[in-house]
Amino acid sequence: MLSNSEKKIALITGGSRGIGAATARLLAQRGYHIAFSYRDRKESAESLLSELHAIGVPAIAVRADIAFKVDILHLFREVDRQLGPLQYLVNNAGILKPQMRVEAMDAERINQILTTNITGTLLCCREAIKRMSPKHGGKGGAIVNISSGASRSGSPNEYIDYAASKGAVDTLTIGLSQEIASEGIRVNGVRPGFIHTEMHAEGGEPDRIERLKSSIPLGRGGQPEEVATAAAWLLGDESAFTTGAFIDVTGGR
Ligand code: NDP
């Protein structure tokens, strides 16, 4: 049995499907012990959990809406209690609302997006650092924030609120990486472009997906596994000299 100092314990937020589930699977294959959170999809979470247990990976799934501080605190306490000291975090949970021009955006929509995508991500970083930093008895670690190509394009006429939330994730990644580098904690980001997941199932113009794909230089949408590979590299020791950096997984868009 591995001692606590030999275990690699990773938490992936929003691991029940899409990019988060692909990341949980890949990290499990690479020897990490896995905690992942979900919000609504208990069945998908349980199915992934059974898959990980079947290959002998210590894994837990915790229901936690990262728009709520109390859920985030519960999530991290469950990781402490059931797996042990956290060293790796992938902030993946995020929401996109249907396409809309600025005049139609109301405060409720904007708040939901910002609370989930940036406040939730920042609070998860805070809780992780309390566990990873030697100042609090930790042994260092790595954080990967899943941003979006939208943070640079701004997504005009589509979702400038979502794009702005991801721009804030980029800024957080840069600032935090500087703040905690001397504590042996690295913070990096992945900016996916159009990836085939359920995130795109809701709303939008009927021809939107085809239009998006035709604007990608590599001529196709990406797969969740292609984002997971980038996140896993940034999390692991192979990127030990990389912090405050971003990998774009956008097909060149
Ligand atoms: P999906 O919509 O397929 O999955 C979202 C995941 O996040 C699910 O596990 C969902 O849980 C969870 N989740 C959503 N809201 C919350 C919340 N408030 N609290 C906790 N968990 C939550 O998304 P993707 O896999 O496509 O996206 C993952 C990340 O990648 C997001 O941050 C997204 O912004 C980013 N991204 C995605 C792109 C794409 O084209 N797909 C492009 C650029 C960035 P549940 O299943 O329980 O609902």
Tell which atom from ligand 1 comes closest to the C-alpha of 224: 25
Atom 32 of ligand 1, residue of closest alpha carbon = 94
Mean predicted confidence (pLDDT) in 163-189 = 98
Percent of the chain's residues with pLDDT above 90: 91
Q: Are 19 and 224 within 8 A, CB to CB?
A: yes
When pLDDT is cut at 50, 70 and 90, the band that residue 204 belongs to is low
Beginning with the edge strand found earlier in the chain, give each strand of the sheet holding 246-249 in spatial order.
Answer: 59-63, 33-38, 9-12, 88-91, 141-146, 185-192, 246-249
Query: Residue 205 above 70 pLDDT?
Result: no
Q: How many A from CA of 4 to the centre of ligand 1?
A: 30
Each residue of 40-83: pLDDT tens digit? 999 999 999 999 999 999 999 999 999 999 999 999 999 999 99
**More confidently predicted of 1 and 130:** 130
Domain 9-249 part of CATH 3.30.450.30 = no
Instruction: Determine the pLDDT at residue 200.
Output: 86
Least confident of 66-80, 81-95, 200-214: 200-214
DSSP code string of the chain: ---TTT--EEEESS-SSHHHHHHHHHHHHTT-EEEEEESS-HHHHHHHHHHHHHTT--EEEEE--TTSHHHHHHHHHHHHHHT----EEEE-----PPP--GGG--HHHHHHHHIIIIIHHHHHHHHHHHHH-GGGT---EEEEEE--THHHH--TTT-HHHHHHHHHHHHHHHHHHHHHGGGTEEEEEEEE-SB-SGGGSSSS-TTHHHHHHHT-TTSS-B-HHHHHHHHHHHHSGGGTT--S-EEEESTT-
- Residue 5 tokens read as 């100092």
Q: Which value does ipTM take for this structure?
A: 0.99
Which residue, among 136, 130, 8, has the nearest Cα to 77 in the 3D structure?
130
Find the residues whose C-beta lies inside 6 A of ligand 1. Answer: 13-20, 37-41, 44, 64-67, 92-96, 116, 146, 148, 192, 194-195, 197-199
Instruction: Determine the pLDDT at residue 234.
Output: 98
CA distance 113 to 225: 25
Instruction: Determine the pLDDT at residue 1.
Output: 59
Strand partners, 35: 11, 60
Query: Residue 203 above 60 pLDDT?
Result: no
Each residue of 183-198: pLDDT tens digit? 999 999 999 999 999 9
Instruction: Determine the pLDDT at residue 225.
Output: 98
Q: How many A from CA of 1 to the centre of ligand 1?
A: 34
Q: How many A from CA of 94 to the centre of ligand 1?
A: 4
Q: Which of 36, 127, 165, 199 to mutate to test the pocket of ligand 1 (most atoms within 8 A of CB)?
A: 199
Query: Residue 28 above 70 pLDDT?
Result: yes
Instruction: Determine the pLDDT at residue 79.
Output: 98
Mean predicted confidence (pLDDT) in 208-234 = 93
* Catalytic residue list contains 162: yes
Tell which atom from ligand 1 comes closest to the C-alpha of 15: 9
Atom 6 of ligand 1, residue of closest alpha carbon = 14
Instruction: Determine the pLDDT at residue 6.
Output: 80
Mean predicted confidence (pLDDT) in 125-139 = 98
> Is the torsion defined by CA of 91, 59, 19, 161 positive or negative?
negative
Query: Residue 113 above 70 pLDDT?
Result: yes
Atom 23 of ligand 1, residue of closest alpha carbon = 199
Instruction: Determine the pLDDT at residue 54.
Output: 98
Q: How many A from CA of 95 to the centre of ligand 1?
A: 6
Q: How many A from CA of 14 to the centre of ligand 1?
A: 6
CA distance 23 to 37: 12
Average pLDDT of the residues of the chain:
95
Instruction: Determine the pLDDT at residue 208.
Output: 74
For the chain, give every domain's residue range: 9-249
Catalytic residue among 32, 38, 159, 162: 162
